[in-house]
Amino acid sequence: MVTFYRMATRALITGITGQDGSYLAELLLEKGYEVTGIVRRSSAPNLWRIEHLLDRIELRPGDLLDQLSLMKVLAEVRPHELYNLAAMSFVPASWDQPMLTGEFNAQGVTRVLEAIRQVDPGIRLYQASSSEMYGKVREVPQTELTPFYPRSPYGVSKVFAHYITVNYRESYNLFAVSGILFNHESPRRGLEFVTRKVTDGVARIKLGLADSLRLGNLDAQRDWGFSGDYVRAMWLMLQQSQPDDYVIATGESHSVRELVQIAFDHVNLDWQRYVRLDPKFLRPAEVDHLVGDPSKARTALGWRPAVDFAGLVRMMVDADLALVSQAHGGPESRSAVALDSGMTAPIQSLRSAGIE
């Protein structure tokens, strides 16, 4: 009797050490994938988000600035699916480094596409687009057909990446899709992002380690969801019979003020006693009312977010309470904080986030 074994699907993830990369790696491993991540050579590897996965995944050196390194990894790994999540992702920093942002986020995507075209055009590509492409919005809510009007170098670079992906799909018949993801957060978010800055600040204030939290525009509104939900949408896009682009969002908009209020309420504190407005945290050009219409993803992919906004904020506050408490000798352990998705978040080295 001959026994046939089904070969595991191979996935390659750029940006695997980031928030989305870590959740995506977990999801793919649960589905039986062989997962390889591309990491840039660094004297101080930033692996804290995937430490719990290192014995189950493979890491290979590569760089979006180096075409040959990408082609080498593709030729060696021969992935069935490639998720391009690597980017200069902190929007305010794109004003300080606009040229480097373009090299990574725009030309880097072109290098990925060209590597696929030359090595194996059968590889299915997911490209991470962004709601920041809408910028000065033309309609509310935003759909896949809403015109782009980016308001930052980051947004501009993402528009190029989005359209070069469409161009390669149509010109070379590649299975290349873009997910226009609206803001998505988690306890693994970096402290430079306002969501983590708020939840980390609330934890420090609650534990008596800080007495104020400095923020910029409290009226800025975003469509915030949970990263663990959004990586599921990425995977679903690559399982379809035809490539297409999708808005991934909750369809609900919330202000930074609401974020702050829910976070402080969760620890029974009055946010108005602790929040200070600081002009240095204002953007040179703010985006308008960002809220996505996920109808197409609901209909075509069967995707819906499982974690709502309030649940996301409370999840992040709880995780930061445990992390900050542990870092300062408290009894709680970050690894014991269960996320609503059933996943746990590893310990991050603490960094300054403008909190006094």
219-243: pLDDT as tens digits: 888 999 999 999 999 999 999 999 9
- Average of per-residue pLDDT across 68-84: 98
| pLDDT score at 352 | 29
For residue 219, give Cα distances in angstroms to 25, 114, 122. 35, 41, 45
In the predicted model, is pLDDT for residue 64 greater than 50?
A: yes
Question: Which residues have C-beta within 8 Å of that of residue 132, sequence separation ≥ 6?
Answer: 91, 150, 151, 152, 154, 155, 158, 287
**Which residue would you say has higher pLDDT here, 283 or 80?**
80
89 is catalytic: no
pLDDT above 90: percentage of residues in the chain: 79
Specify the amino acid at residue 7.
Answer: M
Among residues 83, 154, 168, 246, the one annotated as catalytic is 154
pLDDT tens-digit profile of 125-152? 999 999 999 999 999 999 999 999 999 9
Instruction: Flag whether pLDDT at 332 surpasses 60.
Output: no
One of 132, 230, 246, 274 is an active-site residue; which one? 132
- Residue-wise pLDDT tens digits, 252-283: 999 999 999 999 999 999 999 999 988 877 76
Q: Considering the entire predicted model, what is its pTM? A: 0.89
Statement: residue 339 has pLDDT above 60: no
Least-confidence region, from 6-15, 54-63, 91-100: 91-100
> How far is residue 264's CA from residue 17's CA, in Å, rounded to a whole number?
30
The letter for the amino acid at 353 is: A
Would strands 124-130 and 225-226 be described as parallel, antiparallel, or unpaired? unpaired
130 is a catalytic site residue? yes
Q: Inform me whether the pLDDT recorded for 302 exceeds 80.
A: yes
Could you give the percent of the chain with pLDDT greater than 70?
Answer: 88
Query: How sure is the predictor about 75, in pLDDT bands with cuts at 50, 70 and 90?
Result: very high
